[in-house]
Amino acid sequence: MTETSQPPKVGERIAKVIARSGRASRREAERLIEAGRVSVNGKTIQSPALDVTATDKITVDDQPLAEAEPPRLWLYHKPSGLVTTARDEKGRQTVFDTLPEEMPRVLSVGRLDINSEGLLLLTNDGGIKRRLELPSTGWVRKYRVRVNGRPSEESFEPLRKGLVIEGERFQPMTVSLDRQQGANAWITVGIREGRNREIRRAMETIGLPVNRLIRISYGPFRLGTLKAGEVEEVKGRVLRDQLGLDKDFEPAATPKRKPQRRRRP
């Protein structure tokens, strides 16, 4: 090696590079590769077991891969009536149709159904999306829920123990009755999985149909005073700390622990 030459750059798995571009999650990127929709330097690849560097030219569906930005995360107050998909086959307005023009291409972390509102996390990084959605993350998602009926605390015991609905087992929920308001009641619900229409289906099973559902938090991230349709970016330092990442947004080798105070004898 001459004095002016540079050491070779270390490559990264192509699915990871695609995820960091915001094009798809890592798992989705692997499916794109297996479907023959990804090319590297003009050659279609069939296996995700390939390392690439910044000098490689990657295309997905014949479109150049966008240059990767630093991972970013936004809090978005989703209004009711919007679909949480990039495109809707019925032509309904989507979350992504309403975002500020200056925002980059983003992915939603999980979904909220069309009639639900409240906190939706958005990210430009497929790896961050997957990490936040993993059940192993164990983050509680909390909701303010309005149901039709006059429940008591005992009404919620089946939810706290865990239900089986049409052969599908739901994990125990935390449920508390906040107040009765005429024919409706407001309750706070906490879940860890977030399956499709989980809260609505569970409440219907115990005879309490939901007529309003607002997500107020997703793990450490809170809706707070964010108004419907507003977007607020999470600071990079907060994102790194909450996900246990190092300065390069990779999983930290050793999770940071808060110092423990010693009690005096």
Catalytic annotation, residues: 113
The answer to whether 239 touches 73, Cβ cutoff 8 Å, is yes
* Chain centroid, CA 96 distance in Å: 15
How far CA 175 is from CA of 81, 120, 165, 198, in Å, comes to 26, 21, 18, 13
Q: Residues of 43-82 as b/e, b for ≥16 C-beta within 10 angstroms?
A: eebeebebebeeeeebebeeeebbebeebbbbbbbbbeeb
Question: Can you tell me the distance from the alpha carbon of 192 to that of 19, in angstroms, rounded to the nearest whole number?
Answer: 24
